A and B are shown apart, each in its own frame.
Chain A
């Protein structure tokens, strides 16, 4: 504006006008609850305190030391990590394979592929979980019918239950990876691939030394996105294992926090798990932002 150099405040005032509604909502509905979350996590806050039957006791970091000393917390934490890792690997392998497949087939086949994938993606998590439960139902499920194992319960055993949930999670999350990577592959100029072919590079060699490095930032982005999502899986575990499995052996952190707060009415402890989870995800997200910046995404 003023003789070629920007005013120090730029369009600050106009921008503020446009941003105010969004900032108000985020401030009121994110910042304040987060403050409350941290506050609750410092108190012994259970059913009696909510109803006013008992005085509030300030515990300081009491809930945190109790949580860290709890064996179940560590079991659940490792379970969450293992479960999320399985889902991420499954999602990436299926999604990437399909992205490559989509570049190889004819237009009508690709359209069919995309339609099927988007259908799975759009299915509400509750409906999707129910569908998969029915598919694997002990008595009338099609899978048992085909395998001739009628009566076998997939959700009873800890590991088959986790496997079933993971298959469902992959089912509804691979479309995102597939669509994103497909767009990434399409954005690579054909000449690059042709040049590699002219230089005598084999298919595998081209994929490994030319395409993979070009796609690396994008792969990193979808990986971290998947890590964040799969770490937060709630609905599928809650619905498919009836709230965390028999004696809570299929719990993941998200469901564990919910169960502590709502089923056991230990709001203080539930909030503590929430804070710990937030901290873990924050670390992953910072990694994500750095990866984004590296991939050249404008922030």
Chain B
């Protein structure tokens, strides 16, 4: 790349600019203007509504809860009416429903899939096994006692397995949470701090 000094001891000529720095600056300016906060909130509201109303989960069924998740996608409890369409690739998903017991052999793969999802990403831990190990908590050498040991979980749906209605309630709770997220402001703050850090 031209303009970037090479070599192990070279210092960069100018600090790297974050790609969303212009947006961050715009948000900062808007926030400080009188009445700007209202515009920002409305914009966040619209963006959040878009994100909450079309949550695309990664098809990540591990065990029995996967069957109830499939039933939730199927005819009777149609999840498509909530905008929830399953996607097979983590690159195209913004929600990971960990459905079923996660074994210790499987744990690094759960983590890797989560890391492959682009932000903003959410995790629903479906079922008792994903929440805390469930019936496989005692006397068990191979099941991870809760998937929150490897990925951060947003919503826990208990049950063994939870009914499709319970999963739908979990998704609705997540949607409520997304709708009140200060998404733009948080992103702007992170970009500004990163900028300040590299200067």
Q: Do A and B bind each other?
A: no
Write the residues of chain B forming the contact surface with A, with a CB cutoff of 8 angstroms. none
